Amino acid sequence: MVAKLTKGFWPKTANIILRNRILILLLIAAFTIFMGWQWQYMRFSSSQTNLLPDDHPVNIQYQDFLSKFGEEGNAVVFAVRDSALFTPENFNRWNKLSKQLAAFPEVEFVISTDNLKELIKDNEKQEFVMRPLINGELKTKKEIDSITNHLFNDLPFYDNLLYNKESKTIRTIVNLDKDIVNTSVRKDFILQDVNKLVKKFEEETNLDVHISGMPYVRTMNSQNIIDEIGKFILAALGVTSLIFFFFFRSIRATIISMCVVIIGVMWAFGLLGLLQYEITVLTALIPPLIIVIGIPNCIFLINKYQQEVKKHGNQALSLQRVISKIGNATLMTNITTASGFATFIVTDSTLLKEFGIVASINILGIFVLSLLIIPIVYSFMPLPKTKHLKHLNKKWIDAFVQWMERIVRHRRITVYIVSISLLVISIIGIYQIRISGSPIEDMPKNAEFFHDIRFFEKEFKGIMPVEIVVDTKTPKGVLKPVTLKRMNQLGEVIEEIPELSTPVSVVNLVKYSKQAFYNGIPKYYQLPTSQENTFIMDVARKSDDNGDLLKSFVDSTGQTARMTTFMRDVNTSRMEEIEQRLQENITKIFPAERYNVYMTGSALLFLKGTKYLVKNLIMSLALAIGLIALFMAYLFRSFRMIVISLIPNLLPLVITAGIMGFVGVPIKPSTILVFSIAFGISVDDTIHFLAKYRQELTANNWRIEKSVYNALRETGVSMFYTSIVLFFGFSVFVISNFGGTVALGSLVSATLLLAMLANLILLPSLLLSLEKSIANKQTLKEPQIDILPQDENNNQ
């Protein structure tokens, strides 16, 4: 019944399209203008990517931390490691830079040598006061040496915070206003104001300033994403147009196809604006993806049109048959491709969900555009010339198809041996795949800001914050001696871990208070004894400045404290070891009945998010396989045919996963996409081949061998064309500066090439080897939908 309905649907659709050509073009133009208007609402991501759902326990803890202490990653850090800094001219210029930064309304406060204060005890008032380290400009080298020696040797509170004693690196910390950290204001401030000031400083002093901190890194990384969108689009257009012209040798056909995909790109950007989704490292890939996926539609439609013209020379009939005969097959393949992307919609990750929604909608959109624009535009043009049809008789393509036919005919055992060998080797490789929870691994390795990240890792042990929250369960419980001792004990554990920086907490401030109480003697930088604690705390409570310092480390009730450390970029297994060691010590040091202690911070959040995405990968891939299996069942109504069709599409995925393990490409947010994308696209070839095979069986009175070879000859060319376009189209992503995007492009390209060979060699081999059990009228019942018309005898 359904098959009969589809037989009438597409001829009617063809008539409607060709009779309303002008109206349809005007509607497309109007809708394109509307989508172009939505560009004004496009926003580039300003906040850190949160891979976890809002209701995830780890995310709830992180939000609880932010509510108590505010944004954790709001510091931009500047550092100079050069002895030339310690001259009067350069040192005063460095302090001037701090003043200039502090003057901006986007800056909450600055900690630098310019405004650095040391804690001292006022013996008369019996309170602590903050005294400036520097008063006015320093005029001589001797003054600077005196100040720096005092800083490096007498003020351990600032060690690894503002200076590295060993390398003499000096750092300035600029804390941004928490309200602008996750907005576009931060981007404008850093790209325009900060970079301009630093460049001027470097020109005047000939000193190299290193800049980092999460706001800066996110801004520069986002700018790289913006810069790459245009590069990807131009590269995808250039590569696909060259390949298209090479196949068709027609400037006219190439221009029409480019117009189709360019409009598709405009719709993609417009949809991002209409839905008000932020452009992230994933959604930035959608426009070039639309180009790469849209070109095969154009190949199928234009190829069919030229075949029909060559066959009978009637333009009206050719255009009508393009729509009625290719429309169904193209729709089916686009639905399977969109399904691969749509599986991300059911995940709980906002990042993947938005990517899945926009990608799947635009894939169906590019199908509609190609089906409407190509026949309509050709209807206004003269018939193709003889030279435009020469590609239909290319001898090298015939030689390729004959080579595949010989392998299927004479080398089937070899095909199986190679396939099984690759499967076994790939499974070994899969066990070597690692998961990457590093938020900076995908960042461009050649970028200056990435080199600065490595600089700060070496000098100050990293920029990625890890927070430990200590809830004492009682108001003002943080400053109790027993709590401070426990926090100090945990701090000692943290200092023993080489990948973590010296922790900063209220413990440091209390130690500094004792040092100040004993007239600044460095050896007293330690926790007070029980007897000292009463006197020192009494003095501390009288001190307004000390109260201001406490706000950074303790909440307003005095019940909850934070311990902040920074982590180097380490592999996921090491990060998990560090997390486990800290958790074990937290459990041991802080009794659960008296304390509620947990770890959070953007570094751990990203690690947990990546592991969560891996689980979603398995679910989305399983869903994609399930959906497409159901789709194949609906089309072919044969369980055995479903199994046969999945084998040549799953084998390339396993091989790709094995390659990832052997080569060392980790599972991370970018490479997670490879499998669902590649599976959704590669199954298109299977549908084309099996649809033609099913048709040939009927036409050839169930003679299996003849049907397989006919299907191979007639679908091989178009499958080769589209696979080559997809291979080189996805290969454009290797020009990216982002390691994850390079891996995505190369892995998808390799998977699709493997899938083409599997569908043209392994699939026919399986059909011939299992011919008696799968190719009979009982097994292959009448399909629910005629993908290819029964009178179709030409190359698809």
pLDDT in tens, 609-625: 777 777 777 777 787 77
Residues 450 and 251: their CA atoms lie apart, in Å, by: 43
Residues 540 and 484: their CA atoms lie apart, in Å, by: 15
Q: Which of 554, 789, 564 is nearest to 9 (CA)?
A: 789
Strands (E) across 571-623 are located at 596-600
Contact 608, 643 (CB under 8 A): no
In the Cβ-directed half-sphere of 278, how many Cα atoms lie within 13 Å? 17
Scored b (16 or more CB within 10 A) or e, 606-638 reads bbbbbbbbbebbeebbebbbebbbebbeebbeb
Measured between alpha carbons, how far apart are the two ends of the chain, in Å?
Answer: 25
pLDDT given at position 25: 92
pLDDT given at position 457: 86
Q: Which residues of the chain have pLDDT under 70?
A: 1-8, 46-50, 71-72, 127, 384-397, 437, 534-550, 635-637, 669, 771-796
List Cβ neighbours of 343 (8 Å cut-off, separation of 6 or more): 356, 620, 621, 623, 624, 627, 676
Domains annotated on the chain, with CATH: 27-47+220-431+606-774 (1.20.1640.10)
Beta bridge pairs of residue 130: 119
pLDDT given at position 47: 61
The encoded tokens of residue 298 equal 């154009």
pTM, two decimals, is: 0.76
pLDDT given at position 208: 92
Q: Which of 654, 715, 711, 716 is nearest to 679 (CA)?
A: 654
pLDDT given at position 768: 82
> How many CB atoms lie under 10 A from the CB of residue 588?
11
How many residues are recorded in the chain? 796
Scored b (16 or more CB within 10 A) or e, 193-211 reads ebeebbeebeeebebebbb
The encoded tokens of residue 63 equal 């939000």
CA 233 to chain centre: 17
Angle at 444 between CA 163 and CA 343, to 5 degrees: 125
pLDDT given at position 37: 93
DSSP string, 634-700: HHH--HHHHHHHHHHHHHHHHHHHHHHHHHTPPB-TTTTHHHHHHHHHHHHHHHHHHHHHHHHHHHT
Angle at 725 between CA 723 and CA 727, to 5 degrees: 65
